[in-house]
Amino acid sequence: MALWGTIVNAAAIIIGGLLGLVLQRMSQGIRSTVMQGIGMALVALGFSMTLKSSNFLLIVSSLVLGGVLGELLQVERGLERLGQQLERAVNALTGAGKSAAANRSHTDSGEANGEKKQGRIAFGFVNTTLIYCVGAMAILGALDGGLRGQHDILYTKAMLDGFTAIIFASTMGVGVLFSSVAVFLYQGAIALAASGIASLLAQDMLNEIITQITAVGGILIMGIGINLLELRKINVANLLPSLLIAAIAVPLVHWISAW
């Protein structure tokens, strides 16, 4: 079954997220320190992924063209809106929306705290979706599941994602659980399309595409780490089209070189 590894991966995120929600009672100091540690780890992981490619020009070109395309499509804003819709749905189900409407006359400090809390689900959803979807294991695992029916890579990814979901959910909240839907759709689409991709591309070409996607994805992972460290706000989601540009650029460069 091509989607089995993806199903296990999504389930691991949900289970880890639920465990993380139980641990939400940890102090703010612990949460802040854990988030800083995760941010630094993501920067290091992204850097190591980027080093897998020696074609720096292709990486830069993919980021530039992908960034322009992402800004035109407003990918980040779309993800944020989706996260906000999820947040409103959760608030409606839990009765938080009614409670907020009844307390509109509270003090300014209370309103500020409410606004800060309101953006938490969207923040968790957007950031963890990017972290879980932008990476070599997501692509390689989905391809392996679709091409050969082997799910070892996604099983390993599921363990890693489940563990990190515990940490993320304890610091970012319930929005982390919704990222499991994005992971299922993203990896599932790759797995289902894998047979068609394999019939069109040689193995060497496919390996090169994965290498370049991994390198560009590493840059995006570093951007997420910088965001978590609150050093600077980087619109990582608007750079997501860079992954598609990198994948298209590899066969294009080979065709131009041969011509």
Q: Is 42 left (phi over 0), alpha (psi -120 to 50) or beta?
A: alpha
Burial class (CB in 10 A: 0-12, 13-18, 19+), 179: buried
Radius of gyration (Cα) for the chain, nearest Å?
A: 19
Helix, strand, coil percent values for the chain (each to nearest 5): 85, 0, 15
- Calpha distance 256→259 (Å, rounded): 5
Two tokens, residue 48: 């190591």
- Calpha distance 185→91 (Å, rounded): 24
End-to-end CA gap in the chain: 40
Residue 115: which pLDDT band, with cuts at 50, 70 and 90? very low
Residue 119: which pLDDT band, with cuts at 50, 70 and 90? low
Two tokens, residue 110: 């209370």
For residue 201, the model assigns a pLDDT of 75
CB atoms under 10 Å from CB of 207, counted, come to: 12
For residue 58, the model assigns a pLDDT of 92
What is each CA distance from 154 to 90, 118, 185, in whole angstroms?
29, 33, 14
- Calpha distance 2→69 (Å, rounded): 31
- Calpha distance 37→34 (Å, rounded): 5
For residue 12, the model assigns a pLDDT of 95
- Calpha distance 182→188 (Å, rounded): 10
- Of 145, 188, 183, the C-alpha closest to 164 is 183
Query: Within its chain, how far is the Cα of 156 from the centroid?
Result: 17
Residue 10: which pLDDT band, with cuts at 50, 70 and 90? very high
- Render pLDDT for 61-111 as a digit per residue (tens, 0 to 9): 999 999 999 999 888 888 778 777 776 776 676 664 444 444 444 444 444
Two tokens, residue 61: 């070109």
pTM flag (> 0.85): no
- Calpha distance 36→48 (Å, rounded): 19
Two tokens, residue 227: 């965001």
Per mean pLDDT, which range of 79-83, 98-102, 200-204, 218-222 is the poorest? 98-102
For residue 26, the model assigns a pLDDT of 65
Contact between 40 and 46 under an 8 Å Cβ cutoff? The reply is no
Asked if pLDDT for residue 192 goes beyond 70, the answer is: yes
